[in-house]
C-alpha cells in the first residue's frame, strides 16, 4: 500500500502497468503492430498508426525497457566511467560541466547515464565486469593517467568507448575528443610576448598527463618562434595543486629572478604562483604577468583575476556523445581536437 497513492483520477495505477497488450486491444490491432509503431512506424498504415498513437495516449502506456532490452540485446543506456584519482576530478569544476553536459546530451536521445567510479582496483573490476556483461551500450571515459589498464580492458571487451582527452600511451582503437592543449599554450605565450614580456617562465603539469606534456610543448614552440632563447631555469613542474604552484614559483624566482611572466598549466597552480609572487613582493601584472589554464572558478576568484585559457567543455561533451552514438551505430573510431580560447583578465 505504500506504492499506491490513493488519489482518485488519472494517476496511472502502479499495480498493473499497462502493457503493449492493453494498447493493442484498445487500438484494435495486434501487438506486433503496436510494436512496429513504437519502433519507427515502418510498415504501418496511417490509420493503424493513428489508432495506436491514440491508444497509447489514452492508456498512458510507456514501454517496459527491460523486456525490450531482453530481446534487442541493447541496454539503451550509457556509462560515464571515471577512473582513478577521482577526488581530483570531483573537485575539478570542468569535470562537473562535462558530466552535466553529457547527461543532458544523452537525455536528449533518451539514454540514461550510469555514473561509475573506478578509483580502486576493486571498483575497477566490478565496473569492468558490469560493462563487459553488456549492461551498457557504450562508455564515456574520463581517465587521465597514462597506461590506465581500464582503457585496454574496455577495448578488449569490444564495447564502444569515447575518451575525454587523448589516452596516453595506448594503442587501443578508441575514439577521443580533446581540447587543443598545445594551441592554447601557444596562444597564451604569444599573448605574453605581445605584451612585451621577454623572460617568460612556465609551470608545467605532470609529464604523464596530456595537459602536462602538450602545454609544455606549446610553450617551447612559441618561445622558439618568438626568437626567445630556451632556458631550463625558466621551467618548473607542478602536480596541478595550488601548493605545487607556489613551490614551483619559488624555485623559478630563485633560478631566474629576472622573469617577467609565468605561463602556468592550470588555474589552481596559478593561484599558488600568485601567492608566491605576492610574498616575494612582485606585483602582478606590473612586475610579472601570470597566465593560467582552464578558466575555472579559481581564475575568477583569485586577485587579480587570472588571464587564462578556456577549454570548450560544452562542445567537448557534445562531441563525445555524438561520437559515442556513431560508434554504437558501427562507425570506426575517430578523434576530434577542439580549439581553446584566450580569456584576458587582470593578471597579464
Partner DNA sequence: CTGAAAGCGCTTACAG
The contact set with DNA (CB under 7 A) reads 17, 19-21, 29-36, 38-39, 42-45, 47-49, 61, 63-64, 67-68, 70-72
Distance CA 262, CA 197 (A): 10
**Does 135 engage in binding with a copy of itself (CB under 8 A)?**
yes
Which one of residues 249, 298, 316, 323 is an interface residue with a copy of itself (CB under 8 A)?
A: 298
Burial class (CB within 10 angstroms; exposed 0-12, middle 13-18, buried 19+) of 342? middle
In the list a copy of itself, DNA, none, the entry touching 30 (Cβ below 5 to 8 angstroms by class) is: DNA
Residues in Cβ contact with 332 at an 8 Å cutoff, skipping those fewer than 6 apart: none
Rg (CA), the chain: 26
Q: Which is nearer to DNA, 8 or 70 (CB)?
A: 70
In the list DNA, a copy of itself, none, the entry touching 304 (Cβ below 5 to 8 angstroms by class) is: none
Would you state the cell numbers that stand for residue 67, as one nine-digit string?
A: 523486456
Task: Give me the least distance between CB of 150 and DNA, in Å please.
Answer: 25
Residues binding a copy of itself: number (CB under 8 A): 62
Distance CA 335, CA 345 (A): 32
**Does 115 engage in binding with a copy of itself (CB under 8 A)?**
yes
Options 109-117, 143-151, 180-188, 252-260: segment touching a copy of itself (CB under 8 A): 109-117
**Does 282 engage in binding with a copy of itself (CB under 8 A)?**
no
CA count, 13 A, side-chain hemisphere, 9 = 2
Task: Give me the least distance between CB of 132 and DNA, in Å please.
Answer: 14
Options 21-29, 42-50, 84-92, 142-150: segment touching a copy of itself (CB under 8 A): 84-92
In the list DNA, a copy of itself, none, the entry touching 103 (Cβ below 5 to 8 angstroms by class) is: a copy of itself
- Residue 196 has φ and ψ, to the nearest 5°, of 95, 0
Task: Give me the least distance between CB of 103 and DNA, in Å please.
Answer: 24
Which one of residues 49, 59, 130, 314 is an interface residue with a copy of itself (CB under 8 A)?
A: 130
Which one of residues 35, 112, 221, 314 is an interface residue with a copy of itself (CB under 8 A)?
A: 112
Please name which of 133, 165, 137 lies closest in space to residue 151, comparing C-alpha atoms.
165
Between the alpha carbon of residue 329 and those of residues 137, 169, 283, the distances in Å are 10, 27, 55
Which one of residues 30, 31, 93, 322 is an interface residue with a copy of itself (CB under 8 A)?
A: 93
Find out whether 13 and 4 touch, Cβ atoms under 8 Å: yes
Burial class (CB within 10 angstroms; exposed 0-12, middle 13-18, buried 19+) of 267? buried
The H-or-E segment that residue 279 falls in is helix 267-279
Distance CA 63, CA 326 (A): 25
Please name which of 267, 260, 248 lies closest in space to residue 184, comparing C-alpha atoms.
267
In the list a copy of itself, DNA, none, the entry touching 254 (Cβ below 5 to 8 angstroms by class) is: none
Which residue do the cell numbers 492493453 mark? 22
Find out whether 178 and 337 touch, Cβ atoms under 8 Å: yes
In the list DNA, a copy of itself, none, the entry touching 330 (Cβ below 5 to 8 angstroms by class) is: a copy of itself
Would you state the cell numbers that stand for residue 139, as one nine-digit string?
A: 562508455
**Does 16 engage in binding with a copy of itself (CB under 8 A)?**
no
Q: Which residues form the interface with a copy of itself (CB under 8 A)? A: 2-5, 7, 11-12, 14, 17, 62-67, 69-70, 75, 77, 80, 86, 90-91, 93, 95-97, 99-100, 103-104, 107, 110, 112-117, 123, 126-127, 129-130, 132-135, 155-160, 242, 271, 297-298, 301-302, 330, 332
Amino acid at each position: 500500500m505504500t506504492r499506491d497513492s490513493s488519489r482518485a483520477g488519472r494517476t496511472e495505477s502502479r499495480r498493473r502497468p499497462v502493457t503493449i497488450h492493453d494498447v493493442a486491444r484498445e487500438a484494435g490491432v495486434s501487438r506486433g503492430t503496436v510494436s512496429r509503431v513504437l519502433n519507427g512506424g515502418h510498415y504501418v498504415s496511417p490509420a493503424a498508426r493513428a489508432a495506436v498513437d491514440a491508444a497509447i495516449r489514452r492508456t498512458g502506456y510507456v514501454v517496459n525497457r527491460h523486456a525490450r532490452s531482453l530481446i534487442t540485446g541493447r541496454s539503451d543506456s550509457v556509462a560515464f566511467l571515471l577512473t582513478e584519482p577521482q577526488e581530483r576530478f570531483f573537485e575539478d569544476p570542468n569535470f562537473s560541466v562535462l558530466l552535466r553536459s553529457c547527461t543532458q546530451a544523452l537525455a536528449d536521445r533518451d539514454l540514461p547515464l550510469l555514473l561509475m567510479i573506478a578509483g580502486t582496483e576493486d571498483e575497477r573490476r566490478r565496473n569492468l565486469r558490469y560493462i563487459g556483461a553488456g549492461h551498457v551500450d557504450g562508455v564515456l571515459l574520463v581517465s587521465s593517467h597514462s597506461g590506465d589498464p581500464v582503457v585496454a580492458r574496455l577495448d578488449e571487451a569490444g564495447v564502444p568507448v569515447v575518451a575525454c582527452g587523448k589516452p596516453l600511451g595506448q594503442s587501443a582503437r578508441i575514439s577521443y575528443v580533446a581540447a587543443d592543449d598545445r594551441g592554447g599554450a601557444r596562444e597564451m605565450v604569444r599573448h605574453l610576448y605581445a605584451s612585451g614580456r621577454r623572460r617568460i617562465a612556465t609551470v608545467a603539469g605532470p609529464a604523464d598527463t596530456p595537459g602536462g606534456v602538450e602545454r609544455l610543448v606549446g610553450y617551447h614552440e612559441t618561445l622558439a618562434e618568438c626568437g626567445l632563447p630556451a632556458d631550463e631555469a625558466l621551467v618548473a613542474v607542478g602536480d596541478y595543486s595550488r601548493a605545487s604552484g607556489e613551490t614551483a614559483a619559488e624555485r623559478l624566482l630563485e633560478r631566474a629572478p629576472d622573469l617577467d611572466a609565468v605561463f602556468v598549466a592550470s588555474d589552481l597552480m596559478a593561484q599558488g604562483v600568485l601567492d608566491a609572487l605576492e610574498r616575494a613582493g612582485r606585483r602582478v601584472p606590473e612586475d610579472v604577468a601570470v597566465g593560467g589554464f582552464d578558466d575555472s572558478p579559481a581564475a575568477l576568484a583569485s586577485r587579480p583575476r587570472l588571464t587564462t585559457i578556456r577549454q570548450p567543455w560544452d562542445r567537448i561533451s557534445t562531441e563525445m556523445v555524438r561520437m559515442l552514438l556513431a560508434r554504437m551505430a558501427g562507425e570506426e573510431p575517430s578523434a576530434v581536437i577542439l580549439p581553446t580560447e584566450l580569456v584576458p583578465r587582470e593578471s597579464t
